[in-house]
Amino acid sequence: MRDKKRVVQPTARSHNEFVKPLAPPDLWEQLDKLVPNRVASPPENSFTVEEFSKRKGLSDSHARKVVNDLCRKGHVCRVKFGGKFYYTVANANL
């Protein structure tokens, strides 16, 4: 025979038991000092599959196959940046 599940009743808490700490007045100035003031950007001389497909007049799926084939052969390097893949030419002597 199964035991009945024991029900635990929540206890009453004081409304000021959990007080959120206040942020210092110069919080944003402190954060600005910690974080370098630079904006990240994709690698120079890089392209996406979408750009490649538009330039070559291919469908996105066919362009992806061509770029992945170039990547496997070592002609193109793939870099992920911001959730998107960018490709750069690895060897200028294609």
Q: Is residue 8 part of a domain?
A: no
- Quick check: is 24 in a domain? no
79, part of any domain: yes
Which pLDDT score, from 0 to 100, does residue 93 have? 55
User: Which of 43, 50, 51 has its CA nearest to residue 77?
Assistant: 43
Q: 33 is written with which tokens?
A: 């000092």
pTM, rounded to two decimals: 0.56
Task: Let me know: does 83 contact 41? Beta carbons within 8 Å.
Answer: no
Tell me what pLDDT residue 24 has: 87
Residue 26 lies in a domain: no
Amino acid found at 92: A
In a domain? residue 22 = no
User: Is 13 a member of any domain?
Assistant: no
Cβ atoms of 46 and 86 closer than 8 Å: yes
Predicted local distance difference test score (pLDDT) of residue 47: 95
Question: For residues 6 and 82, what is the distance between their CA atoms, to the nearest angstrom?
Answer: 49
In a domain, 60, yes or no: yes
Average pLDDT of each block of 10 consecutive residues along the chain (94 residues)?
64 65 87 77 91 96 96 93 90 56
Give the number of domains in the chain. 1
CB 67 within 8 A of CB 23: no
Q: Would you state the pLDDT for residue 46? A: 93
Domain with 79, as residue range(s), is 49-89
